[in-house]
Every structure is written in structure tokens, then in C-alpha cells.
A = this chain, B = another copy of it.
């Protein structure tokens, strides 16, 4: 009867209201019993009643989340109780909120403000589970952990979990403008509806806070580092205060990006010189005004003297002078200043990879004790792969905060499946060798190496107004992984992927295994089809969409592709050895020696550090040109493989999400092919070498690829 099956499918896919549209993220709380009735029964045995206080907003948030979660997972939430008169009580709180927990005298020392323990105990002769912490927020984190156990179908009969975060500030940086444009945003507009704030509080703000608290994120910078001074006007401060009020119960403090020239732009002063007394007074008054509206305001994030932003150097002052100006203003309120190290001179033609190090290392020890310097994972700019930033390990007296980019500016926007856990992990596990073998970037960031008093990790958010928050379902995993790694920088990105896949898609092993497998290789695939073997910064100009290895000219050499790949008929790659820009010497000696030698440089960084002839022999035995083509091609092949794997999951994933992922994978394959073909067509004009046998030539001419224009690609700055 039905000949128009395709149409019908399309129409059925339009049934939205009850469909899985990704809005719930990893907090879906799907019934356990449907797949695992025995497990569900066991969970109910261990959650017969719920004993928790509701005297503070955070306690209410904790109780509500547990009720909501258990109702979803088990069909009904346990009844509230005041005492453990039956087996199976779930007891949540702190010694001060719960007399029961006080009586248990659990070892909460060392857990700090945010840590928690989850233990199977006996209370008044009854088996019980206790989620205990020193402060409310720890109990909330513990509650999310407990729910995660059920979501991932772990046993809960004999629990002895003890968790505390390894970093203090676990922060999202939103590059959101007041007009709701998100710089490098691929998930719609800003979720902050600035125009309607503070009067209308979108329920989504609460869901944002829930999601972040569930992975331990405790700070958010609301606005773009390319900041508007308007952000600091009274009207906009009131809007930020309304958001801070929503986030507060979830342990999330609000920070703002500050525009260094605000004293001139909105203060009516003639200068923003950090040593000018009027300027210092203006910032002090402005900070007092902010704290009056937001008593737990976190502080400022500042991008100064970078890419056209104003800063202390405009007045002949240093980054330290600038940071200390703001640090002095927030200090009486307990605030922090986070100063970005992503700077490169407007004048110096030196290798851009060297400039942050050159500018900041001399300032080590010159910052106030409430200043942190925020350093991108690599020295260029969030490329698909970069060696770790040489600043890590090089500023022992200055707390360095890691800055990762969760939004995929350089990794295919929203439609390419690229799980960034391995990228984050690779950087965190990189060995700086500043003291001995095994002094990792993670140990710098968590403060253990240099004894930093302040520690933190920031991620440039991939969150927007799209229904699924992150632009694609799989991009939610990058938000998730960032939070989990900020909590514990030594976590395994594979474990995180599995945890996320179970909560987001299914606990069915037939789903978890292939999904995790797809994810784990996905970022390497992007490296392969975009910038293999250490190539970098080869994307389209401005919007960074698609390949642009031919990009040259314009205002700055280091905003072109040719500056970075340096391809000629003789070879390809950026010589950063001691014979070249000498960027290698910014690393600790053993690392520098390694990167200085092409034979010892890990092949994934080969052309980052070396300019090599097209016939250079790579570890595979193939000449460099052939090896490049092999990598480009295997990147495309990997995407094709993901499509096949995903197609095989039809019926095990809800149709709406399955369809969107399938459509995006098709886009990814098309664009991976485009990257490969355009790159090969371009570089072949230099290598003058044939493709290896069996490798297909580009589908179009180089002229064709160069002619493509995308003036409306999203996220442009």
C-alpha cells in the first residue's frame, strides 16, 4: 500500500515534541528496568527512602535532582524520610545539614569544599547509602555521581567512593556577544537572551547549571574575550547578576571578560593607563559595583594587546601592570584575574609560536597572588593537533590555567564528529620534562608541580541556542569530557567516552562499543584529512571553514596559510629548530633536543618543527609526499567507516538522533574528501610528484577549490 515510504519516514521524523532531540544531554534518566529488570530491582532495594535536607537552595537542587533522576531511572522517586527505619535509605548531606551524617563521623577531611564520598553503611541497624560532603555543593556533586552510577548501570551494593576535584576553577569561557552572536559558535545564538534579562529567566539557564554541575564545572565567563565595554554598564551588570542568581545553587560562579579600555569607553576617562590613579579608582569603583550586584562574583578574564584588543602595552606598561591593576581591585572581594597569554605582537615578524613565551616568561613572579595566566593548549591556536604550549612548566611562580577549545573552530564546526577527549588527554599527559621525566602538563595545571595556590582549567564553550545545545549530539561529548578532565586531569578519555555514550545513547554493549570506537579515532581522522604530520593553520580565511592552504596576503603574514606550511618545490614544513625560528628552545632541554631532530620528533609533529624535502623518508618507509597522501586518504576512509558503523546502529538509537548524526556524517565525509582533494591538488603543485599507486586524484581542479566562497559560514569573529 505504501509506495511513498521515504516521504512517510520524513514525515514521521517530524514528530518532535516527544522525540529525543538532545535537549536533555547526558541527564536523560531513562528507565533501567526496560533493559535490565534485575538491576532496576536492585537499585530500588538501595533507594527505598530518601533522607535529605532542603533548607538551602543547593540542598533543594540536590534533592530535586535525585527525585527527578530516580523517578526517571526507577519509575518513581523514593519517599522522603527523616530517619533510617528501613533498609535501603539514601542519605544525602553534610554533617551540618544532617544529624544522621554527623553521627556517622565519616572521614570527610581532605575532601575540601567540593569533594564527597559515597559509601554503603549501616545506620541504626539498617543498610543504607550515604552521600556525604563538607559543604552542600559537595553533596550535589555526589548526588550527580550517584545518579551516574545508575545511568551507567553500575552496581551500588558496596560503594566506597571518595572524590575531590584536582583543580579549583573548572570554567567555561563563552565567546558570546551582547547581540547574541557567538564568536566561533556553531550551535546557534548565545543562550543568554541579554535583551530579555534580567526580567525573563529562561528555564534553560537552570538546565545549563544542572548540566555543568553534573560534571563539576564551577565557573562561567559569560561574555567574549573580545569584550564590549558595555558589558560593564549597570544595565548589563544587572543582567549578569540575574544569571549568577540562577547558577549560585549549583556552585557556579560568574566571571566577566573585561575590556581593558572600559575606563575610557564607558568611564569618560582620557586614559586606561594601569598606573593612572583615576583609572585605578575607576576600576575599584566598578568592581565594588559588580560585587554589590553579584556578591560571589568570580573576577575578570582579560584578552589584552592581542589581535587588536586594547591593553597595558598601549601605555607602555606590561601585562603584569595590567593584570595587577584589576587584581588589586578584586582582591578585597576575594576575586581572581585571569589574564590570557594568547598574544602576538603587531609588529614583530618573529615566529608567532614563540611570542606568548617571549612576552610572559620574563613576567614570572611579577603578578599579584590572585592572578592566573590562561594558556592555550598549544602555541598557535587550537589546531587539530599542536605540541603542548612551551609556557607549561616555564612559569613556576605564576599559576597557569589551561585553556582548551571545546567549540570546534578548527575541527569541522558542528557537523564533523570529532571527540576531543584524546586531544585534551594528549596535552595533559605531555611530558614537559622541566624537572624530571614524568612532569606532565597535568601536573603543572593541577598545581602539584610548582605548588600553585590557584589552579584551573578553562574550555571555550560549544554551547548555543540550538535545541541540542552543542550543534550536534556528539559535540555534547566534548563539553562532557572537558568537565570530567577539569575535575581530574588524569582521567582516561576512553573511560569518559564510554560513560558519556552510556548516558547519552544506550547501555547496550552493541551501541557502547561501536560508538566509543568511532569517537576514539575521530579526532585523529580530522588531523589526517585536514592537517596531517604536523601541518597547521591551513583553513579558509576568517571563518576557518574548509581548506585554504593557498591563503596568502592580507594584513598579517601569520594570518595566512603559506606562512605556516612554507611549501616550495624543495619541501614543506615550518623550520622551528635551532637552525630556523628556534621555537624548540622554549621547551625544556630534553624536549627541545627531541623536537630539534626530525628523526626523534614524533611523526605527528614532524612538519610543525621541520621543513623537509618531499622525498624525506618517513617511518613507514614511504617518502613524505606519499605519506601525506596516505594520511589525507585514511582520514576520509575513517569517516566512511564511521558512516558504516553508524548505519549499523539504526534501530538501536532513537530515529531522530540517528538521522541527524547520519546526515552530519555524510556532510563530514563530503568535507573530508574536499579537504583531502583540495590539499593534495594544492601541494602537488609544489611536490610535482604523482600520487602513490591506488590513490585517487582530486575530484576537481585546484582552480575549482580556490574559487569556492563561503561568506556566510557561521561563527566568524
Instruction: Tell me if A579 is interfacial: C-beta within 8 Å of chain B.
Output: no
Is there an interface contact between B660 and A200, defined as CB atoms closer than 8 Å? yes
Instruction: Tell me if A621 is interfacial: C-beta within 8 Å of chain B.
Output: no
Chain B residue with the shortest CB-CB distance to A207: B14
CA distance A15 to B200 in the complex (A): 17
CA distance A670 to B203 in the complex (A): 21
> Interface digits, A3-20 against B, CB 8 Å rule (1 contact, 0 not)?
110011011111111110
Chain B residue with the shortest CB-CB distance to A715: B195
**A interface with B by C-beta (< 8 Å):** 1-4, 7-8, 10-19, 23-24, 54-57, 59-61, 64, 68, 80, 177-180, 188-189, 194-196, 199-201, 203-204, 206-207, 210, 230, 246, 249, 413-415, 465-467, 656, 659-660, 663-664, 666-667, 670, 711-714
Instruction: Given A23-B16, A465-B189, check contact A670 B64 (CB 8 Å).
Output: no
Q: Which residues of B contact A12 (CB under 8 A)?
A: 64
CA distance A13 to B206 in the complex (A): 9
Instruction: Given A200-B664, A712-B178, check contact A54 B4 (CB 8 Å).
Output: yes
Give the contacting residue for A712; candidates B23, B199, B207, B230; CB below 8 A: B230
Give the contacting residue for A196; candidates B61, B246, B415; CB below 8 A: B415
Question: Top 8 A-B pairs ranked by shortest CB distance?
Answer: A14-B206, A178-B712, A200-B663, A11-B64, A179-B712, A14-B203, A199-B667, A7-B57
CA distance A12 to B246 in the complex (A): 13
Chain B residue with the shortest CB-CB distance to A57: B7
Instruction: Given A23-B16, A465-B189, check contact A54 B200 (CB 8 Å).
Output: no
Chain B residue with the shortest CB-CB distance to A80: B1
Instruction: Given A23-B17, A189-B188, check contact A4 B203 (CB 8 Å).
Output: no
Instruction: Given A16-B23, A23-B17, check contact A60 B11 (CB 8 Å).
Output: yes
Give the contacting residue for A68; candidates B15, B80, B249; CB below 8 A: B15
Q: Which residues of B contact A660 (CB under 8 A)?
A: 200
CA distance A14 to B213 in the complex (A): 15
Q: Smallest distance from the beta carbon of A492 to chain B beta carbons, Å?
A: 30
Instruction: Given A194-B712, A199-B666, A199-B667, check contact A54 B14 (CB 8 Å).
Output: no
Is there an interface contact between A60 and B7, defined as CB atoms closer than 8 Å? yes
Is there an interface contact between A712 and B667, defined as CB atoms closer than 8 Å? no
CA distance A7 to B248 in the complex (A): 11
Q: Smallest distance from the beta carbon of A413 to chain B beta carbons, Å?
A: 8
Write 30 A-B pairs (CB below 8 A) sorted by A numbering: A1-B54, A1-B80, A3-B55, A4-B55, A7-B57, A8-B54, A8-B60, A8-B64, A10-B206, A10-B246, A11-B64, A12-B64, A14-B203, A14-B207, A16-B23, A179-B714, A180-B714, A189-B465, A195-B713, A195-B714, A196-B415, A199-B666, A199-B667, A199-B670, A200-B415, A200-B664, A203-B656, A230-B711, A465-B465, A467-B467
Q: Which residues of B contact A179 (CB under 8 A)?
A: 712, 714
Q: Which residues of B contact A203 (CB under 8 A)?
A: 13-14, 16, 19, 656, 659
CA distance A206 to B414 in the complex (A): 22
CA distance A713 to B663 in the complex (A): 35
Give the contacting residue for A14; candidates B3, B210, B413; CB below 8 A: B210
CA distance A12 to B68 in the complex (A): 9
Q: Which residues of B contact A64 (CB under 8 A)?
A: 8, 11-12
Q: Which residues of B contact A23 (CB under 8 A)?
A: 16-17
* Additional A-B contacts beyond A2-B54, A230-B711, A465-B466 (14; CB < 8 A): A3-B55, A8-B60, A8-B64, A11-B64, A15-B68, A16-B203, A16-B204, A188-B188, A188-B189, A189-B189, A195-B714, A199-B670, A200-B415, A201-B663
CA distance A230 to B713 in the complex (A): 13
Q: Smallest distance from the beta carbon of A256 to chain B beta carbons, Å?
A: 15
Q: Which residues of B contact A8 (CB under 8 A)?
A: 54, 60, 64
CA distance A667 to B466 in the complex (A): 25
Which of A17, A199, A415, A659 has most chain B Cβ within 10 Å?
A17
Is there an interface contact between B15 and A249, defined as CB atoms closer than 8 Å? no
Is there an interface contact between B714 and A206, defined as CB atoms closer than 8 Å? no
Q: Smallest distance from the beta carbon of A118 to chain B beta carbons, Å?
A: 22
Chain B residue with the shortest CB-CB distance to A466: B465
Q: Smallest distance from the beta carbon of A439 to chain B beta carbons, Å?
A: 43
Q: Which residues of B contact A664 (CB under 8 A)?
A: 200
Instruction: Given A179-B714, A714-B180, check contact A196 B667 (CB 8 Å).
Output: yes
CA distance A712 to B229 in the complex (A): 12
Q: Which residues of B contact A196 (CB under 8 A)?
A: 414-415, 667
CA distance A189 to B188 in the complex (A): 7
Chain B residue with the shortest CB-CB distance to A668: B199
Q: Which residues of B contact A413 (CB under 8 A)?
A: 195
Q: Smallest distance from the beta carbon of A478 to chain B beta carbons, Å?
A: 18
Q: Which residues of B contact A2 (CB under 8 A)?
A: 54, 60
Q: Smallest distance from the beta carbon of A69 to chain B beta carbons, Å?
A: 12
Is there an interface contact between A199 and B60, defined as CB atoms closer than 8 Å? no
Chain B residue with the shortest CB-CB distance to A415: B196
Q: Smallest distance from the beta carbon of A83 to chain B beta carbons, Å?
A: 14
CA distance A195 to B714 in the complex (A): 7
CA distance A414 to B201 in the complex (A): 15
CA distance A15 to B207 in the complex (A): 8
Q: Which residues of B contact A11 (CB under 8 A)?
A: 60-61, 64, 206
CA distance A61 to B11 in the complex (A): 7
Chain B residue with the shortest CB-CB distance to A27: B17
CA distance A230 to B246 in the complex (A): 42
Q: Smallest distance from the beta carbon of A13 to chain B beta carbons, Å?
A: 5
CA distance A465 to B4 in the complex (A): 30
Q: Smallest distance from the beta carbon of A673 to chain B beta carbons, Å?
A: 13
Q: Which residues of B contact A670 (CB under 8 A)?
A: 199
Q: Smallest distance from the beta carbon of A392 to chain B beta carbons, Å?
A: 35
CA distance A178 to B543 in the complex (A): 14
Which of A60, A80, A670 has most chain B Cβ within 10 Å?
A60
Q: Which residues of B contact A59 (CB under 8 A)?
A: 4
Chain B residue with the shortest CB-CB distance to A660: B200
Q: Which residues of B contact A210 (CB under 8 A)?
A: 14
CA distance A401 to B666 in the complex (A): 42
CA distance A11 to B247 in the complex (A): 11
Give the contacting residue for A663; candidates B3, B194, B199; CB below 8 A: B199
Q: Smallest distance from the beta carbon of A542 to chain B beta carbons, Å?
A: 13
